[in-house]
Amino acid sequence: MNQATKNQERIFLKFPDRDAASKFAAEIFCTAYRKFEKLLFGTATGQTPVKIYEHFIEMMNTIVGSENDLIFRQLDNYISPDSSEDNLPFYSYQTELKNSVWKVPHLDAHVPHEWVSPDAEVGRYITIIEATNKWASYFIQLLGIGDKDGHIAFNMPGDAFDSTVHVVDLNQETIEANANKFFGGDTTKVPKQAITSGIGDILKANAIIMAGFGKAKADIMHRSFFGEVTTDVPASALQTHDGVLFVILDEDSASTIVEKEGESVFTNPEDLDIWESL
């Protein structure tokens, strides 16, 4: 892996709305697939990626002539003894992606899912991370961000920047946020623990796409990329990432950056040669 890692580069992109932003993010993933023989695509859950995946599936199915291979590797998952494809959003993303991208000759997907012993699953997933990192000629990671605390995957404030896969006790705020997103507001249905890749695993990516849309993400976007690098804001670890970082925003989530740093921070998407930037 890492054949193509360049030195640190940060590209801030602002779009009129979420759909345009999602389409561009999908274009980056498809370009990476066309460019690299063995692409490892680190997937995220939550609401942010939904439209990105829709555009990605659509674009991937129009690609002709590529023999390149693709592995999806999910960042995190709830620990739920009752987990099934029906009751966990995480599973359905993976299933949908794997089933929908039908033009890729070699396709695989990994997600933490064996709950008999969470500790054993941590070990199994670490082995998967090492093996897929080794397999890949390029690793591109998609991330969303926690509105208030800047969590990435389930790495919460205070987590070390060099962490690897671990079990997390979800805090009340995360449980409530997930209840509203996925479980009709019912906190009793939300699993209380999760397994997550560590920040150290995320930082190994050649390219990271951080996407966040809407006013609720505006403050944390500015704090993460222009504030102090601190474990209090897990996403601020991305300032130390040695590779290319795309921060993909809409007008609302970009608003604090525009206000405090000015328009000059942003690259015009039309001027960006995605192939060259990877």
Gyration radius from the chain CA atoms = 18
How far apart are CB 188 and ligand F6R at their closest, in Å? 20
Stretch that binds ligand F6R, among 38-46, 52-60, 62-70, 92-100 (CB under 6 A): 38-46
How far apart are CB 34 and ligand F6R at their closest, in Å? 25
Residue 250, classed as helix, strand or coil, is strand
How far apart are CB 31 and ligand F6R at their closest, in Å? 22
Count Cα neighbours of 169 within 13 Å in the Cβ-side half-sphere. 2
Using CB under 6 A, which residues numbered 39 to 78 contact ligand F6R?
A: 44-48, 75-76
How far apart are CB 78 and ligand F6R at their closest, in Å? 9
Residues in the chain: 278
How far apart are CB 196 and ligand F6R at their closest, in Å? 8
**Amino acid type, 87:** N
Query: Which has the closest alpha carbon to 246: 160, 140, 149?
Result: 140
Using CB under 6 A, which residues numbered 115 to 154 contact ligand F6R?
A: 144-146, 151-154
Considering CB under 6 A, how many residues would be counted as binding ligand F6R? 15
How far apart are CB 150 and ligand F6R at their closest, in Å? 10
E-assigned strand segments in the chain: 9-15, 38-43, 69-74, 76-79, 107-110, 138-143, 166-169, 193-196, 207-212, 244-250
Q: How far apart are CA 125 and CA 61, in angstroms?
A: 29
Q: How far apart are CA 84 and CA 64, in angstroms?
A: 34
Counting beta carbons within 10 angstroms of the beta carbon of residue 268, is it exposed (0 to 12), middle (13 to 18) or buried (19 or more)?
exposed
Retrieve residue 188's tokens. 């009793």
Using CB under 6 A, which residues numbered 167 to 196 contact ligand F6R?
A: 181
Using CB under 6 A, which residues numbered 201 to 260 contact ligand F6R?
A: none
For ligand F6R, the closer CB: 220 or 258: 220
Indicate if the alpha-carbon torsion angle 144, 146, 148, 151 is positive or negative.
negative
How far apart are CB 154 and ligand F6R at their closest, in Å? 6
Q: How far apart are CA 122 and CA 116, in angstroms?
A: 11
For ligand F6R, the closer CB: 30 or 153: 153
For ligand F6R, the closer CB: 171 or 277: 171
User: CB nearest ligand F6R: which residue?
Assistant: 144
Contact residues: ligand F6R, CB under 6 A = 44-48, 75-76, 144-146, 151-154, 181
